Chains A and B, each alone.
Chain A
């Protein structure tokens, strides 16, 4: 039992550390300053890996799209608990111990975990995930009671 009650973050308010990297790109383009052009994603190295996550919703599904380049399918873990979708995993360095030395390291290797509260209830048994070109797409069909329903008005 933790002392501080865990507050589930709302999906819209989720802070993304990647934004800093994006901000750097924007600043760079604007200013073209040499001192900003050093080690690009340093912010990411210190804060760990926060893969970008997009969330969509339509009448039938909630769809989460994550940028996870260079993963192995079996290293991605997806779980659903209490309306919270969690995606975790580990990216292993593929080129280690071959007498190589890194002259520049910007790609993050190691563990990551992201959670997002889903806007509606979903049917956990029908969740489907695909991984293509480094993009993970998770389709979560809405639970029947969460789907919008048309109600016919009967005129007597």
Chain B
């Protein structure tokens, strides 16, 4: 079975990670015949503060939070201040040129279509 999207946590360990601490956002991967849908939770991130790129067949998503500025004393905190980052290794069947993304209510949704030649094709008997 194909996993889109094998998570790659080791990348970025070469010095890059030491520079800034990130937290790993929860993600859901769905697969159908046409491709994959990847949903990543990034509360406090919007279109302007979201960055994504594909390099060496690896998809990296970085979301920087812009939290509402609240004037007052903090009584209780559970949220974390760090930004989000997650890297996925792309399945070779994915057409990286056709990846599209949107962000809505703090959830990034990516559509990763499979390349035409790997889609199941029905062969009609003549």
**Interface residue count for B (Cβ, 8 Å)?**
48
Residues from chain A with Cβ under 8 Å of B3 in the complex? 103-104
Q: With A56-B72, A101-B32 given, is the CB distance from A70 to B106 under 8 Å? A: yes
Q: From residue B112, how far is it (CB to closest CB) to chain A in Å?
A: 12
B89 interface residue (CB < 8 Å to A): no
Q: With A65-B67, A70-B107, A103-B5 given, is the CB distance from A98 to B32 under 8 Å? A: yes
Residue of B nearest to A17 (CB): B78
Tell whether, in the assembled complex, residue A103 and residue B30 are in contact, meaning their CB atoms are under 8 Å apart. yes
A89 interface residue (CB < 8 Å to B): no
A-contact 0/1 string along B1-43, CB 8 Å cutoff? 1111101011001000100010110111111110011010111
Interface residues of A (CB under 8 A from B): 11-12, 14, 16, 18-19, 22, 25, 28-29, 32, 37, 40-41, 44, 52-58, 61, 63, 65, 67-71, 95, 98-108, 116, 119, 131-135, 137
Interface residues of B (CB under 8 A from A): 1-5, 7, 9-10, 13, 17, 21, 23-24, 26-33, 36-37, 39, 41-46, 66-68, 70-80, 104-107
